[in-house]
Amino acid sequence: MLRRIRSAGGHGGDAGVATSVLVMGVAIMLAGGFLMFGRIAQAGDMRNQAQIGADAAALGTLAPLRDKAVDQLVGWGRDPSSVGYWMVDSPPEKVAEKYADKNESRATRVRLSGMLGYTAMVEAATKLCQLKQEDELTEKEKDDLRNGRNLCTDRAGKKGIGRSGTARAVARMIPPQCEYRTGPGPEGSTGSGPVVEITCGDRHVRAFPNGDRAAITRLFKIRLVDDEDPVAYTGAPDGLSGGSGAVVSECAKTGKKPAEDLEFGAAVVAWSLCWLGTPYAWGGGNYSGPTRGICCSPGGYDGRLYFGFDCSGLTLYAVYQASRGRIALGHYTGDQVSDPRGSYVPTNALKPGDLLFFGAPPHHVAIYYGDGKMVEAPQTGDVVKISPLRPVTSARRFG
């Protein structure tokens, strides 16, 4: 070809050859550039897809946690502060994978944080990959390719060793910062009644019974955030952090937390004993520990003057901690005695950890300690203590 071009025209032919070679070189460079640009663009697309998958997975991981919180309000009329991720039926990895899969991604790592597991971090990778060129493969990757290991698929359906788009996202569930207004319990029962309404500023949402589930669900926000919670998630309630500094658990003071291998009834007793000496407060106590009481008892005592437990506040705390957060009782005796998760126990066959009810309807509840004794938060002016067993009307066993 070059000979024919040269013979065709002397010096002018040489110039034509040079021009042709230059054009061909530029064309090759452009083709290489377009190829490289295409690979860069594809890599960017995969990163975007991975981010979409990670975002969806992080947000989706917290959706069943929000549903459990709404269930507590709408189904039971209970404060949703009892809800931790341990109440969710599926592990967070399985939930995250479902949402990642819907967005052409895989959840490669999932981690909860925060005491209740309200924050979820998900790392995701795209299902499709960008195959590596032969000269990009390491010796191990070449061996994997020959033996069909660690292969991925590109957009054209070709399998090989490649790079996937990767991304990370963090989401957090934010409960409503609202007032939970309780109603009266059954006539004659003691403690706080069910949560009947949520008040957020000038907005009032019905909670129980016949609550507005859709409206309550909208109050619980799930949002993407920058950082994980600095508090580690352990998979169970802490049990010793309650009290807000006003009172401190004896177990926290000594560092002797109830053993995890205790039988359920023994654990109920052990957790209640952590707060021996804590003041009685009408309406006081929640799933984390003692709280400021409420106004006012049938006898006219204002629980807001005290920080501690009432009788049903102590029992709901002890059962919740013993069950590792899986049994959240209501905060009044009538609810606890009728809770279907408890079984009837003859009063002559009591075991440690059984809940003891006094009166019909019950006006007081305590925890059977054993040896003819019980743990109770008796009345205003008294403290959580071990008392001699008094005649019991009925008893229930949980766990």
Give, for all 399 residues of the chain, the pLDDT tens digit: 333 333 444 455 555 555 554 555 554 554 445 444 455 555 678 999 999 999 999 999 999 999 999 999 999 888 898 899 999 999 999 999 999 999 999 999 999 999 999 999 999 999 999 999 999 999 999 999 999 998 999 989 999 999 999 999 999 999 998 888 888 766 656 667 788 899 988 889 999 989 999 999 999 999 999 999 999 999 999 888 776 667 778 888 887 889 989 999 999 999 999 999 999 999 999 999 999 998 887 778 888 999 999 999 999 999 999 999 999 999 989 999 999 999 999 999 999 999 999 999 999 999 999 999 999 999 999 999 999 999 999 999 999
**Please, what sign has the CA dihedral across residues 326, 248, 333, 360?**
positive
DSSP state of 305: G
pTM for this entry: 0.78
Give the pair of three-digit tokens for residue 28: 């090759």
Taking the C-alpha atoms of 190, 194, 198 and 204 in order, what is their torsion angle to the nearest 10 degrees? Answer: -100
Contacts of 99 (CB under 8 A, 6+ apart): 53, 56, 57, 59, 60, 61, 107
Contacts of 33 (CB under 8 A, 6+ apart): none
User: Which secondary-structure segment (H or E) carries 121?
Assistant: strand 119-131
Question: What is the rounded CA–CA span in Å between residue 62 and residue 113?
Answer: 12
